């Protein structure tokens, strides 16, 4: 387990559903870590490439999923 502190906004949903990435956990990750994630430039959650794209849409590239996997490793839930 790492010394990293996972925000309660993510930890709650993550521990409630540890076996797969559900919508509450995905939204929590995107809300808390959104801009720091390595999104594909054409991801729906990245503003600019389309008039409708932006943080109001859930990530459709693998950035949130990769962060979820990383956080599970931090918690020891690999």
Is residue 58 a part of any domain in this protein?
A: yes
Domain enclosing residue 30, as ranges: 8-75
Is residue 70 a part of any domain in this protein?
A: yes
Cα separation, 24 vs 50, whole angstroms: 25
pLDDT tens column, 17-62: 999 999 999 999 999 998 899 999 999 999 998 999 998 999 999 9
Is residue 59 a part of any domain in this protein?
A: yes
Band the pLDDT of 5: cuts 50, 70, 90.
confident
Cα separation, 33 vs 35, whole angstroms: 6
Query: What token pair was written down for 35?
Result: 């801009």
**Which pTM does this prediction carry?**
0.88
Tracing tokens 């943080």 back to the chain, one arrives at 55
Residue 52 sits at φ, ψ, to 5 deg, of: -95, -15
Looking at the 3D structure of the chain, how many domains does it have? 1
């Amino acid at each position: 387990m790492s010394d990293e502190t996972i925000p309660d906004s993510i930890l709650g949903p993550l521990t409630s559903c540890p076996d797969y990435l559900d919508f509450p956990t995905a939204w929590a990750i995107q809300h808390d870590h959104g801009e720091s994630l390595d999104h594909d430039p054409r991801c729906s959650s990245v503003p600019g490439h389309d008039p409708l794209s932006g943080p109001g849409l859930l990530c459709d590239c693998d950035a949130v999923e990769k962060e979820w996997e990383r956080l599970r490793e931090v918690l020891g839930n690999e």
